Amino acid sequence: MKTKTIFTLLISMFLFGCDKIEESTQFETSLSVSQIINVDGNAAKIKSKDLNDAVYSFSSSKELDLADNPDVGEFVEKVKWISVNSSKVNITGILSGQTIQTISVKIDGIEIYTASDIDNSGPLTPDISNEELNVLASILAEKKKATISVSGTTDNADLSFTIEHVFETTIQAKLL
């Protein structure tokens, strides 16, 4: 009888203990993941309907790699789930009298947002749908990196600016 009770206790501890062991090997954190892209003043002139109003195009891209993030890098291969909760953009370097007429941001070729008539530096909170945030989360969870591309038009060939994308994320990793 004593052996049966001990055996039953050991089986119970083993069955219920496995869940606790699995929970203790998972790690979840909220994290800001960001990427800075510099757009240099080398915009190419494109045709304009009004010859007096010159229009110039620009484009630049950079890879966002989770392995480069000091908070995630050491366990990036163990990431099993990512949620992108929001996205913010900060543009710096636009001088008085300069305008970004249009800007489009794509992540791995998927357009995430567009904006127009940006004539001052500062933060933007683009209207990104949950569906688009989920697409970004899927890309990051699968590849652990993504290419962010910025393109658009400006009224100034020498316009140089910096655009920083900040993604508020929740990341879950299995440590064992």
Which residues are registered as beta bridge partners of 35? 165
Put the strands of the sheet holding 145-154 in their side by side order. 44-46, 55-65, 145-154, 100-107, 110-118
Using CA atoms, how far apart are residues 9 and 2, in angstroms rounded to an integer?
11
pLDDT tens track for 126-154: 888 888 888 888 988 889 889 999 999 88
pLDDT higher than threshold 50 for residue 21: no
Q: Is the pLDDT score of 161 beyond 70?
A: yes
Residue 165 has pLDDT above 50, yes or no: yes
The better pLDDT of the pair 3, 58 is held by 58
For 84-93, 94-103, 167-176, which range has the lowest pLDDT when averaged over its residues?
167-176
Distance CA 125, CA 75 (A): 30
Higher confidence at residue 7 or residue 158?
158
Residue 135, token pair as written in the block: 């697409």
Q: Residue 26: pLDDT above 50?
A: yes
pLDDT tens digits, 94-137: 888 888 899 999 989 888 888 899 888 778 878 888 888 888 88
Residue 156, sorted as left (phi over 0), alpha (psi -120 to 50) or beta, turns out to be beta
Strand order from edge to edge, sheet including 26-39: 26-39, 161-174, 79-92, 122-124
CB atoms within 10 A of CB 63: 11
Predicted TM-score (pTM) of this structure: 0.74
Rg (CA), the chain: 24
How confident is the prediction for the chain on average, in pLDDT? 79
Q: What is the pLDDT of residues 27-82, one digit of tens each?
A: 677 778 888 888 886 656 665 555 556 788 888 999 988 888 887 778 788 888 88
How many Å from the N-terminal Cα to the C-terminal Cα in the chain? 38
Instruction: Give the residue with greater pLDDT, 127 vs 3.
Output: 127
Asked if residues 82 and 136 have their Cβ atoms less than 8 Å apart, the reply is no
Instruction: Give me the domains of the chain, ranges plus CATH numbers.
Output: 27-174 (2.60.120)
- 144 C-beta neighbours (distance < 10 Å), count: 17
pLDDT of residue 147: 93
